[in-house]
Amino acid sequence: MLDERYVTAISLNQVFLDKDTGEPLNGYAQFFEDNSRSTPKLVYQLTGAPPNYTYVALPNPVDIVNGVCVDNSGANTAIYAFPYDDLGDLDLYYVKIFSNGVGTDDILQEQRQAWPNITAGDDPTRTENSITNELSNSQFVEVLFNDQYGVSISTGGAVTNAVYDIAPDWQLIVSSNSDATIAISRTAIAGSSNIITNPPYQLEIDPQSGSITSLKLSQKLNNNPDIWSNGFIAGSIVAASLDGIPHTIELVYAPSIAPASNIILTGVTGDSGYTRFSGTIELDAGTNTNAPPDGYVLIQIILPTNGQMAITSVQVVGLNSDEEDVLYDQQTVNRQEDYLFHYYNSLIQAIPVPSIIQGWDFKVNPAQFGSSVSMGAVASQYLWDQLIGFQSANSLLSVSRAVPRSLTVSHAGSAGQIALIQYIDGSDLNQLLSNEFSVLIKAYTDLAAGIGGTVSFWQTTDATLPNVAAGTNLSLVQTLDSNGKPTAFHGNWTEIPRNYRGDARFTIPFNGDALWQPIAINGWNRSTNAINGAATYGAIVVGFEASSSAHNIVVDSISVTPGALAVPVAPMPYNLTLLALQKYYEKSYGEDVYAGTATVLGAQSFIQAHTVLIPPATTITDSTDAFSIRYQGVKRVTPNVTLYSPITGAANNVYYYGNTITSDITVSGHYTLSGNSKVGAYYIAAGTVNTGSIIASSPLNVMILHFIADSRLGIVL
């Protein structure tokens, strides 16, 4: 293979003439190091055929026959110089050319020094080196505090490697044996200051109090376990003392796992004024056993623990060969801000937006029909509001409220699979199909290996959904494949595709610290084939792999948001979430009080007709009146309404306080549902409640009741 470091010596391929006779020269050329003119230095000839070239050393000296240089075989050859030493630094030649004399009296014909004429500026090994600063925000063009006032950091006591974010991509790491205070500020620099590297800003760090044992300014190179290993790195800093005392600083390269840190440079400031410190080191082969995303490299500036310093123009550059004093890569503030996209991108992705599906921010899901539900011997069942569970085996799935407030999905561990399902009404489905959309799952599991699954979306033109109510207990899912994607269905369902992106596979990670792990699944690609104007319903299915080990999956939220970028669900107050979900299910009971509970809290009350005793009458007749229930919000469709006695909890009963009766009465015996709509239900009275004996007075008669209005998808058409 050709190597640009070998320089062909055209000037030595000329015909050499004897300076005394003018005849073609017979003699030899000797080659030495230019800096050590008694030390021989080899030259080379090119052998082989493309692409397998080899540079072979020639004898030193090289013979000259009839005016031309020849190899060992006496054939004319082109001479290639290698003007470098073993470290890759420039090492030029000193050349002496002789004619053969009598005996040992060879005659010096000419000599050439500093050959070939290569400098650091046109060195081909240097042009390969990148001179792009790999550190971002190197002149602190963005900071995380108001630079008019600065910020004072107090450790609050003894700390070890306490981390404080002070600027995008820059952290101050502090260790102290007592409460310490460090003042941080940023100062703008006028161009007329003519500071080396022309920085627009400098960061000023002033340890003011406390027993500080370590102070570091650090930038993390994420996902790079051993960047630049087996190569060279050059670093530089511009620094100044601000307190009239010289201070020592160091620039350090520190992988996340390595035997030791590598000091790129060490410098001592003057009493005042700015100094640029630089250094280049060679890194050994990588030893970091971390892989991305866990593996990283820290670039750290070791600061004095009791000295006021100004820092700017911090640079680290990867090199292919040793190169000293690499100039600082001066960039505009605009370009430095451009290079901060990686920092702000993660923050942008964390900006929540409203989710297309409802109720799957489980912190505020009201779980109106039970916060702890075990499925038993059914295939599918409503678990929480807008949350249907599927299980392929009996008693496999249960859910409960976790602390902090979230959803715990429990898998019993017997053979089988589970899935979480939400149906999407036609109007919401149109919004989904009119956009590209993405999913973000925030969850963790106590299963050490994690648990995998698949998110899929479906649509149907069927007029009705599979019935989740008692008796059938069916959802759209009949079976799942090994990755949790539906393979057989109840009803006719067509997948909403991701096109070339394939199935939306995921793994819920194990996390022993119980921290949410966001899982972004970007871009269900919208296409004309995905949009079906006749679609009546849609569905999201989050299916899981089978597992023989009992485990929990703790879910904070699952969001479905428009656009190609998965983002968290926008937080909503509990009361607004409840109001939105009452479109599907409403109850008169309070939070975490479920239908059939004997409680008067929240009960509806209605004044009833009564008869006043007028002597000489001897009996009183209590009569019932019509009444109506108005819902908190408009329902999806006309709901199924059930009444409950607040005193006994009995379904299809109300409780009556009257002259002669204070007990449950059966709704069907005394009331008939005359009208029912999306906004309320109207009952008419069926007649007399009871006939009583003579009493002295007649109190007002009152009826109390609880109700539920059920419009859930898959239960009510």
If you write DSSP's letter for every residue of 251-309 in order, what string do you get? Answer: EEEEESS-SS-EEEEEEE--SSSEEEEEEEEE--S------TTT-EEEEEEE--TT--E
The pLDDT assigned to 120 comes to: 67
Tell me how far apart the alpha carbons of residues 399 and 342 are, in angstroms, rounded to a whole number: 38
Contact predicate 265/278, CB 8 Å? yes
In the chain, the amino acid numbered 297 is V
Q: Range with the lowest mean pLDDT among 359-363, 518-522, 605-609?
A: 605-609
d(CA 559, CA 355): 5
Query: Does the 7-127 domain belong in CATH 2.170.14?
Result: yes
Q: Report angle CA 584, 588, 589 to the nearest 5 degrees.
A: 110
Q: How far apart are CA 369 and CA 572, in angstroms?
A: 20
- List the chain domain ranges: 7-127, 151-346, 373-575, 585-710
CB 134 within 8 A of CB 110: no
Query: Does domain 373-575 bear CATH number 3.40.228.10?
Result: no
pLDDT of residue 695: 44
Helices (H) and strands (E) in the chain, counts: 6, 48
pLDDT digits (tens, 9 = 90+) for 367-414: 999 999 999 999 999 999 999 999 999 999 999 998 889 999 999 988
Residue 693: pLDDT band (50, 70, 90) is: very low
pLDDT at position 674 over 90: yes
In CATH terms, the fold of domain 151-346 is: Jelly Rolls (2.60.120)
- Give the C-alpha separation, 705 to 659, whole Å: 18
Bond into 509 cis (ω within 30): no
Distance CA 698, CA 696 (A): 7
**Candidate ranges 109-113, 242-246, 692-696; pick with highest mean pLDDT:** 242-246
Residue 562 has a CB neighbour count (10 Å cut-off) of 18
The average pLDDT across 549-568 equals: 92
Q: What is the pLDDT of residue 259?
A: 77
Taking 60 as the threshold, does the pLDDT of residue 690 lie above it?
A: no
Predicted pLDDT of residue 701: 80
Reported for 349-353, long-range contacts at CB under 8 A and 24+ positions apart, including other chains, are 349/520, 349/565, 349/566, 349/567, 350/567, 350/568, 351/567, 352/559, 352/567, 352/568, 352/569, 352/570, 352/571, 353/561, 353/562, 353/563, 353/567, 353/569, 353/570
* pLDDT tops 90 at residue 185: yes
pLDDT of residue 714: 96
Tell me: the pLDDT tens digits for 313-334? 999 999 988 888 899 999 999 9
pLDDT in tens, 418-458: 999 999 998 888 878 877 899 999 999 999 999 999 999 99
How far is the C-alpha of 651 from the C-alpha of 647, rounded, in Å?
11
The average confidence (pLDDT) of the chain is 89
Mean predicted confidence (pLDDT) in 549-572: 92
- Same topology between domain 151-346 and domain 373-575: yes
| Cα-Cα-Cα-Cα dihedral sign, residues 601, 602, 603, 607 | positive
Is the pLDDT assigned to residue 347 strictly greater than 90? no
pLDDT tens per residue, range 459-481: 999 999 999 987 889 999 999 99
682 has a pLDDT exceeding 90: yes
Query: What is the reported pLDDT for 502?
Result: 87
Average pLDDT over residues 636-642: 96
Q: Which is nearest to 632 in space by CA: 450, 263, 424, 368?
A: 368
- Tens-digit pLDDT profile for residues 118-151: 876 666 655 455 589 999 999 999 999 998 999 9
For residue 457, give the nearest of 435, 491, 429 by alpha carbon.
429
pLDDT of residue 514: 73
Residues in Cβ contact with 240 at an 8 Å cutoff, skipping those fewer than 6 apart: 202, 269, 272, 273, 274, 275, 309, 310
Q: pLDDT tens digit string along 213-252? A: 999 999 999 999 999 999 999 999 999 999 999 999 999 9
